[in-house]
Amino acid sequence: MDQRLKRLAKNLIDYSCSVKEGETVLIEAFDIPKEMVVQLVRSAREAGGNVLVTMKSNEVMREVVRGSTDREIRQIADCELYRMKKVDAYIGIRGSFNITEMSDVPGDRMKAYMKHWIQPVHIKERVTNTKWVVLRWPTPSMAQQAGMSTEAFEDFYFRVCTMNYAKMSRAMDPLKRLMERTDQVHITGPGTDLRFSIKGIPAIKCDGKLNIPDGEIFTAPVKNSVNGTVKFNAETLYQGTVFSDIVLTFKNGRVVEATGSDTERINEILDTDRGARYVGEFALGVNPHITRPMKDILFDEKIMGSFHFTPGNSYDEADNGNKSAVHWDMVCLQSKAHGGGEIHFDGKLVRKDGLFVPRSLQGLNPARLK
C-alpha cells in the first residue's frame, strides 16, 4: 500500500494542484489513515510547499451541526474562511465509516450549515480562489456501497485515482469545442424527454485537476430554457439521506414537480431557496473505469455513459446566473445495461446508449480511453 499512497499523494500535489515553491497547501482529512496525510505532507514539501493540516471526524461534525445555532455556524465559518483565504491550494480527503452519519441532522440545521458555512467557505472562496482537489478515501463502508470486497474496492479505487488523466484531458478537447458551439440539447431515454439550451456558456473539462476520481465535462443550461421530464436511475446520497427513483419535471427552467423515494424530503431540499429549483450544471461522464453507481457522487457523476443534471448553484466557470445553497448532482446512466438513451446536440446524434457516435469524439469511448 505504501507505494500506492506515495503515487497518489504525488499526483495530487504535482498534477492536481500543481504546487509551486512557497505556496501554502491546506490538507483537510476526514476519517482517513494518518499514513496518507503524512505522504501528502512529504510530497507538498518536496514540491517546495508549506502545509496546514486539519484532521476531522464525520461523527464529531454531525454533533457540531446537529446542535448548532446560526450564530455558532457563522462563527465557525468565519474562522474557516479566514484560513481558506490564506492558502494557495486545498486538498480535501474524505473517508466515511457511515455514509448516513448526517441523516438525522434536522433540516433547518443542514440548511444553516450549507448557507452559512459551505457556501461562503467552499463554494465562493475555495472553488473560486484556490487550486483544489477533493477525493474520497476507500473504506469498508464504501466497498459495501459498491457491492465489492474491501480488497477489490481498494484495487479499483487506486486504479481509478491514478489513471492517465493527461490522456483523458486530450481526448476531451473535441467534446469541449462541440459543446461550446451547441445551442439546443435534447436528451431521451426511459422516462426522460428533456430539452434545453447551453448556448454561450463555457464547457469545462474535469480531468483530474479538481476532483479525483475525475472524468466529466460540464456546462450549464440557459437558466429558463429547461423543459420536459428527466428520470434518474442512480441512487443519490445528499445531506446524509439516500434517494432513489427521482423524477423532475421542468417548465421554463423551474422544477414544477419532483417525486422519488422520499418526495417530501426532496421537495424540502428544493425549497431551500429560490435557486434550488433551477439547474446550475449539466455534465457528461466519461471515466472508463467507473461503470456503475455506488452512492458516492465523486464517483457516480463520472460514470462512463452517464449525464448529470444539478438543481441549484452554478459554478463561476460555467455561470448561468443561478445561485443557491444547494448543488445536488443527480445522475442518469444511459448505457445499454441501464436502459439506454440518446443525446442530440442541435439535432445531431452525439451519444447513443452511452457511447459517442461522431468520429471526433470516439476517443472518449472506453475501448480507446482505457
Q: How far apart are CA 300 and CA 287, in angstroms?
A: 10
Tell me the pLDDT tens digit for each residue of 45-80. Answer: 999 999 999 999 999 999 999 999 999 999 999 999
Q: Using CA atoms, how far apart are residues 179 and 120, in angstroms rounded to an integer? A: 30
Computed over every residue of the chain, the mean pLDDT equals: 95
How far apart are the C-alpha atoms of 214 and 258, rounded to whole Å? 29
Q: Are residues 219 and 150 in the same domain?
A: no
Regarding whether 190 and 137 lie in a shared domain, the answer is: no
Query: Is 286 found in the same domain as 201?
Result: yes
The domain boundary residue, chosen from 103, 126, 161: 161
pLDDT at position 185 is 98
Query: Which pLDDT score, from 0 to 100, does residue 370 have?
Result: 78
Task: Kindly state the average pLDDT of the residues 228-243.
Answer: 93
CATH of residue 114's domain is 3.40.1830.10
pLDDT tens sequence across 8-52: 999 999 989 999 999 999 999 999 999 999 999 999 999 999 999
Query: Is residue 111 located within the same domain as residue 247?
Result: no
Shared domain for 101 and 238, answered yes or no, is no
Do 306 and 342 fall into the same domain? yes
Provide the H-helix boundaries in 131-198.
140-146, 150-161, 165-181
More confident residue, 297 or 232: 232
Distance of CA 212 to the CA centre of its chain: 10
**Residues 174, 98: one domain?**
no
pLDDT digits (tens, 9 = 90+) for 91-121: 999 998 887 888 899 989 999 999 999 999 9
Burial class (CB in 10 A: 0-12, 13-18, 19+), 93: buried
Please give the Cα distance from 9 to 3 (Å, whole number): 10
Domain end call among 140, 161, 182: 161
Q: Domain range holding 327? A: 165-369
Model confidence at 296, pLDDT cuts 50, 70, 90, reads confident
Radius of gyration of the chain from Cα atoms?
Answer: 20
pLDDT score recorded for residue 294: 87
- Whether residues 129 and 238 fall in one domain: no
Residue-wise pLDDT for 154-184, tens only, equals: 999 998 998 888 899 999 999 999 999 999 9
Taking the C-alpha atoms of residue 284 and residue 307, their distance in angstroms, rounded to an integer, is 4
Looking at the fold, whether 236 and 144 belong to one and the same domain comes out as no
Could you read off the pLDDT of 323-336 as tens digits, one per residue? 999 999 999 999 99
In this structure, are 188 and 87 located in the same domain?
no
Total domains in the fold of the chain:
2
